[in-house]
C-alpha cells in the first residue's frame, strides 16, 4: 500500500516537509535573468532537460518575490467579491507552485547532491512565504467577509466549497492566533519542515547505503531468473569495467523493493533472508542516518501545534480536515476490521507452521519474520499451483498499458494516445501520453516513470500533479488542462525484453492511474477544488483502489496480459487459480495495514513524546494485530515515510477507510454484471461524472451518495477478502 502522493487542499501544490540550511548563492547566480532560467520562463510543461541545480535558488527566490507581490495585491483589494478573490488566489499559488513543484518532483525522481543542496537552501524560504500567505490577516478577513455576504448562497457549490476550505485551512494555519502565538506557530512550521526533510533524506540515504554482493550459486539458490537478472544488472552498474553474468554472478542485492521482495519470498538460504530482513527493519535507526530522535521531535512539534490551535492532540487536528466524523468513528471501524481479521491471521500463521513441518523444515517450530514470506509463497504455489514469477511473462509493461487504456475507454469513454517527444522528460525511461475524449478533443496528459532507480529515485509509488485544471489559468474561455506525474518503482527491463511485471506491480500501476484519473478527468474549472485538490485525505484513495479491483475481472485481467514470447493472454486456468488465491492470507494482509493505521493514530492521540516511546506504542499495537510479533530490534517507524515525511500523519487509516468506499463502489459494477458491457459502460460514465468529475468541489460523502445512493458499508470489502465468515 505504499502509494503516496501529494494532494494539497487549497494551497500550493507543494510539500513543506523538507527544509535545509540557507546558503548564499554563488555570485554569478545573482546576475541570472528570468530569460536565462528555464524554471522561470516556461509557460507549458517544465523543461526538465534544461533544468540544472544552479537554476533552483534564483528561480525559487524570484517566485517567492512574485508571490509576496501577489499577496500584497490581494490584501489591498477593497471588499473583493468571491470570483475576484478566488481567481487572484489561484494565480498566486500557481506562480510559485509550478516552479517549486518542478523542483520537488525532480528531487523525488532524480536526486543528486547538488540538486538536494539547492533545494534545501531555499526550502525554509518557501515555508516562510507559505506561512505568510496562510496566516495573512487581511486575506483571512476577506474570506470571512465573502462568506458573510448576503449573496453567498448564490455562489456555485464549487465556490462555496473553496471558500469554506480557505477559511478552515487559514484557521488551522494559525490565522486566528495573535502576537507571540502566531510567531510560535510559524516557528513550529519551520521546525516541522526541517525535520521532515531530514527524515526523508535519512530513509533514502540509508536505503542507498546498504547492499550485499554475492558470488556463489549457493548464496542465491531459489531466486527466480528475473531477480537474478536484476541483481546481476545492479552489480554491473556498480562495476562498469568488470563483467557479470546473470547465471554465474556476481549479484548485488539492495533494500529496494524489486530486490528485497524476491529474496524474502524465494531465497532458500535462510541466513540470507534473515540478513536482508534485519537490514530492512533497522533502516535509518542508527548511525548518521538515525531517525529515532527526529521522530520524537516531529511528534513533539505536531503536539505543540495542535495545542496552540485548541485541539487536544494532533489526531484531533488532523481529523478536522477529514471525511471521517471523529476519532471514535475511525477507531470503531478499525476495531471491527481487526476483530474479523485477527482469527484469520492466527490461522494463516498456523497454516505456515504446519506446511513448513510437512516439508521437513527445521524452522517449522521457530518460524521468524524472515520465514513468513518464503513459506507463504511455497504454500500458495502448492495450494493454487502458480507463482508470481510464473505470471511475469504474461504481463509485459507495454501490453499492461494497452489493456489499462482499453479498460478506461470502455469505462469512461476516453482515449490514451502515446505522445513521446512532445514533452521534455527527466529520464530516458519516462513516457508521455495525452488523454482525449471520444471525439478526439484533448482532456489531459500524463508522464509515466515506471521503473525502480534506487540510487536517485524515492521508493514506493505515487501520483502527483504537474498542473491542475483551471479556467482562470487557461486561455480566454478555455480551461488549462491537467497534467499528472505517475511514478512507480517496478522491475526494470533486462536485456532486450520489456519490463515483466508481477501481479502486484500491475495492481500498483492501476492504483496510481486511478489517482491520475481523478486529477485528469475532473470537470471542475475552479482550480482550488478541481481534480484531487480539496478532497479530504481519507476519501482520496477511492478511485485508486477502485481501479485495482478490476484485476478481479477475468476479461479485464486477460486484456492486460500477453505472454512475452507467444502473445497468448493469461490462460483461464491461471486466472481461476489467481481468483482462488485472492483471499489467501487476507486476514494477515489486513492486520498489517491495521497495525500501521492504529500505530499512527495512537502516537498522535493522547501520547506525550516527552515521556513515552513511539516504538513501544508500535509494539503494543502489534501485540493485538499481529500473530507473529516483530523483532525486539525492529525499528519500523524509522522508515515509515508516509506519516513522518508524507501527508498521512494521523491519517494512515485513510487507506482502510477509502478501501471500504472503493469496494462498495466496485460492488455497484458487480451488481449490474461485470460482463454486461452496456451496463458497465453506463455505470462507468456515472462514476466518471461523480467520483472522478466532481473532485473536491463537493463533500466526499455527498459524492459517494450521488454514485451509490446510500452511505458506505464495509460488507463488500469483507466479502472481497473472504472474511465475512470470520465475523465474531
447 is written with which cell numbers? Answer: 508522464
Phi-psi region at 469: left, alpha or beta (left = phi > 0; alpha = psi -120 to 50) = beta
SS3 590: helix
**DSSP3 helix / strand / coil % (the chain, rounded to 5):** 60, 5, 35
CB 313 within 8 A of CB 607: yes
The C-alpha atoms of residue 180 and residue 163 are separated, in whole angstroms, by 27
Taking the CA atoms of residue 611, residue 615, residue 617 and residue 622 in that order, the dihedral angle to the nearest 10 degrees is -170
Can you give 382-394 as a three-state secondary structure string? HHHCCCHHHHHHH
Q: Which residue has the cell 540515504?
A: 205
Question: What nine digits make up the cell of 495?
Answer: 536485456
Number of helices (H), then strands (E), in the chain: 26, 7
DSSP 691: I
Q: How far is CA 693 from CA 510, 522, 529, in A?
A: 18, 4, 11
Q: Which of 57, 512, 548, 714 is catalytic?
A: 512
**Other CB atoms within 10 A of residue 464 CB:** 26
Active site residue 75: no
Q: Long-range CB contacts (< 8 A, 24+ apart) of 343-350?
A: 343/587, 343/726, 343/728, 344/586, 344/587, 344/588, 344/723, 344/726, 345/587, 345/588, 345/590, 345/591, 345/626, 345/627, 346/587, 346/627, 347/587, 348/585, 348/587, 348/588, 348/627, 349/588, 349/627, 349/628
Catalytic residues: 512
Amino acid at each position: 500500500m505504499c502509494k503516496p502522493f501529494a494532494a494539497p487542499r487549497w494551497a500550493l501544490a507543494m510539500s513543506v516537509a523538507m527544509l535545509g540550511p540557507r546558503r548564499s548563492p554563488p555570485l554569478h547566480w545573482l546576475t541570472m535573468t528570468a530569460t536565462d532560467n528555464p524554471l522561470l520562463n516556461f509557460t507549458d510543461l517544465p523543461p526538465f532537460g534544461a533544468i540544472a541545480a544552479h537554476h533552483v535558488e534564483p528561480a525559487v527566490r524570484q517566485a517567492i518575490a512574485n508571490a509576496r507581490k501577489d499577496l500584497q495585491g490581494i490584501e489591498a483589494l477593497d471588499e473583493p467579491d468571491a470570483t475576484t478573490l478566488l481567481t487572484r488566489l489561484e494565480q498566486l499559488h500557481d506562480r510559485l507552485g509550478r516552479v517549486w513543484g518542478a523542483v520537488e518532483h525532480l528531487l523525488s525522481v532524480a536526486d543528486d547532491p547538488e540538486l538536494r543542496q539547492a533545494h534545501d537552501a531555499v526550502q525554509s524560504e518557501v515555508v516562510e512565504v507559505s506561512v505568510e500567505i496562510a496566516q495573512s490577516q487581511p486575506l483571512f478577513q476577506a474570506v470571512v467577509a465573502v462568506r458573510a455576504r448576503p449573496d453567498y448562497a448564490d455562489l456555485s457549490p464549487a465556490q462555496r466549497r473553496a471558500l469554506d476550505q480557505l477559511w478552515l485551512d487559514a484557521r488551522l494555519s494559525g490565522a486566528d492566533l495573535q502576537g507571540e502565538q502566531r510567531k510560535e506557530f510559524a516557528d513550529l512550521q519551520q521546525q516541522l519542515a526541517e525535520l521532515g526533510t531530514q527524515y526523508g533524506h535519512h530513509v533514502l540515504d540509508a536505503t542507498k547505503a546498504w547492499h550485499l554482493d554475492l558470488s556463489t550459486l549457493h548464496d542465491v539458490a531459489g531466486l527466480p531468473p528475473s531477480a537474478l537478472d536484476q541483481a546481476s544488472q545492479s552489480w554491473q552498474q556498480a562495476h562498469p569495467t568488470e563483467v557479470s553474468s546473470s547465471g554465474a554472478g556476481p549479484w548485488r542485492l539492495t533494500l529496494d523493493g524489486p530486490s528485497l521482495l524476491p529474496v524474502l519470498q524465494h531465497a532458500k538460504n535462510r541466513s540470507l533472508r534473515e540478513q536482508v530482513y534485519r537490514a530492512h527493519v533497522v533502516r535509518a535507526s542508527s548511525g548518521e542516518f538515525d531517525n529515532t530522535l527526529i521522530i520524537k521531535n516531529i511528534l513533539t512539534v505536531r503536539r505543540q501545534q495542535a495545542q496552540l490551535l485548541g485541539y487536544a492532540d494532533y489526531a484531533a487536528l488532523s481529523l478536522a480536515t477529514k471525511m471521517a466524523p471523529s476519532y471514535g468513528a475511525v477507531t470503531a471501524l478499525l476495531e471491527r476490521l481487526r476483530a474479523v481479521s485477527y482469527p484469520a491471521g492466527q490461522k494463516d500463521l498456523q497454516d505456515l507452521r504446519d506446511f513448513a513441518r510437512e516439508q521437513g523444515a527445521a524452522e517449522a517450530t521457530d518460524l521468524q519474520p524472515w520465514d513468513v514470506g518464503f513459506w507463504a509463497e511455497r504454500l500458495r504455489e502448492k495450494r493454487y499451483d502458480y507463482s508470481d514469477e510464473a505470471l511475469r511473462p504474461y504481463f509485459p509493461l507495454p501490453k499492461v498499458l494497452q489493456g489499462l487504456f482499453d479498460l478506461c475507454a470502455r469505462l469512461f469513454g476516453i482515449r490514451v494516445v502515446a505522445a513521446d517527444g512532445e514533452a521534455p522528460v527527466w529520464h530516458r525511461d519516462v513516457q508521455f501520453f495525452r488523454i482525449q475524449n471520444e471525439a478526439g478533443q484533448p482532456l489531459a496528459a500524463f508522464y509515466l516513470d515506471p521503473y525502480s532507480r534506487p540510487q536517485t529515485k524515492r521508493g514506493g509509488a505515487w501520483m502527483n500533479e504537474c498542473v491542475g485544471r483551471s479556467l482562470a489559468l487557461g486561455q480566454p474561455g478555455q480551461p488549462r488542462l491537467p497534467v499528472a506525474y505517475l511514478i512507480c518503482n517496478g522491475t526494470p527491463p533486462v536485456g532486450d525484453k520489456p519490463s515483466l511485471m508481477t501481479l502486484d506491480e500491475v495492481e500498483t500501476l492501476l492504483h496510481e492511474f486511478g489517482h491520475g484519473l481523478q486529477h485528469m478527468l475532473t470537470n471542475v474549472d475552479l482550480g482550488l477544488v478541481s481534480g484531487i485538490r480539496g478532497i479530504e485525505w481519507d476519501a482520496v484513495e477511492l478511485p485508486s483502489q477502485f481501479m485495482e479491483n478490476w484485476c478481479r475481472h477475468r476479461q479485464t485481467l486477460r486484456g492486460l496480459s500477453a505472454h512475452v514470447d507467444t502473445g497468448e493472454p493469461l490462460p483461464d486456468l491461471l486466472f481461476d487459480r489467481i481468483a482462488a488465491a485472492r483471499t489467501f492470507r487476507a486476514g494477515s494482509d489486513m492486520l498489517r495495514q491495521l497495525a500501521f493505521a492504529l500505530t499512527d493514530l495512537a502516537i498522535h492521540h493522547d501520547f506525550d513524546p516527552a515521556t513515552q516511546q513511539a516504538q513501544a506504542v508500535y509494539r503494543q499495537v502489534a501485540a493485538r494485530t499481529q500473530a507473529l510479533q516483530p523483532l525486539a530490534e525492529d525499528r519500523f517507524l524509522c522508515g515509515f515515510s508516509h506519516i513522518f515525511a508524507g501527508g498521512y500523519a494521523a491519517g494512515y487509516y485513510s487507506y482502510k477507510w477509502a478501501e471500504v468506499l472503493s469496494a462498495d463502489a466496485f460492488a455497484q459494477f458487480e451488481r449490474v454484471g461485470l460482463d454486461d458491457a452496456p451496463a458497465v459502460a453506463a455505470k462507468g460514465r456515472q462514476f466518471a461524472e461523480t467520483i472522478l468529475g466532481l473532485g473536491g468541489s463537493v463533500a466526499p460523502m455527498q459524492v459517494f451518495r450521488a454514485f451509490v445512493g446510500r452511505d458506505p458499508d464495509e460488507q463488500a470489502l469483507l466479502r472481497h477478502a473472504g472474511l465475512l465468515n470470520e465475523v465474531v
